[in-house]
Structure formats: C-alpha cells, structure tokens
Amino acid sequence: MKLVTVTWQPDASTLVAQAANPDHAITLAAPGERVHGRAPGLTAMSATDAFLAGLAGCTAWDVVEILRKQRQDLRGLSVLVSAEQEPDPPWPFTRIVLTYKVTGKSLKREAVEKAVKLSSDRYCSVKATLRPETVVETAIEVLEADAG
C-alpha cells in the first residue's frame, strides 16, 4: 500500500506532500486567482500540475525501461504535457497531449512507438487512473544523438 501525507503550511499558504522518503517532499501551491495562466506570487507547483508531472514521470520511466530492454541506445528523453480542463468545478481534465522527445543513436522509431503504446495501454498506473472520457493523445519526436 502506498502512503502519502499532505500537510497544510498556513504561514506559507502551501501544502507539503511526503511519501516514504521524508527527504523528498513536494510543495504544492494553494489554488488562487490566475492571471495569464499563472497564480500571482506562485512559489510552488499546483496539485493539478503535480498530477500532470506524475503522469509524465510514470510514462517516461516506462518508456526508458522498455527501450533499455529492447537494447535501444537511448541518450535522452523528455515528455512535454499540455492539458485542457473543464471551466467549471471540479475542473476535470478533458484532453491531455503527451509529446515524447526521444534522443539516441540509431533509435528505431517503431521501437519508440511500441514503448509509448505499451506504457499508455498497459503499464502507466497514473494514465490508468484517468477518467475514461479524458482524451489522451501522444506525439513522438525521435532525434539522432550527436556522435561521441
């Protein structure tokens, strides 16, 4: 069983999330009025941004491990997440786009596509937790690593 504790920090208007390792806490910002997509004085990630980061992290590790098992020469991976939410409470995500930027030596595009699909369809627990009506799309960029 996983256990995470979230504690309100009233003086900072934040929440602090801790899991099994107390050295790796995450500070979460309080929801607030947004100006140009950002909360004024925002000093931490919002809970919904942390959820999207968790989704990206979950699928990124899957892709790394799958490509390693396929003996692909992976040199770098980043996942950009863009998301749309309903305008009214509880503001569920309606569309999420994951863009994978994968760098390596002589990577096979088919292997990368298979790794992304396996993560999405079988292994990523965060993705599996999303509501069925949430549309999740992917895009993949395969880049050749510099020699050396």
Instruction: Tell me which residues of the chain have a pLDDT lower than 50.
Output: 33-36
Give the number of C-alpha atoms closer than 13 A to the C-alpha of residue 24, restricted to the C-beta side: 4
Buried b (16+ CB within 10 A) or exposed e, 123-138: bbeebeebeeebebeb
Cβ 85 vs Cβ 92: under 8 Å: yes
Hey, what amino acid is at 136? V
| Domains contained in the chain, CATH given | 1-31 (no CATH), 47-144 (3.30.300.20)
Specify the pLDDT at position 50.
93
Specify the pLDDT at position 95.
97
Q: Measure the CA–CA gap between 59 and 54, rounded to whole angstroms.
A: 9
Specify the pLDDT at position 35.
42
pTM: predicted TM-score of the whole model, two decimal places: 0.87
Hey, what amino acid is at 103? T
Specify the pLDDT at position 110.
97
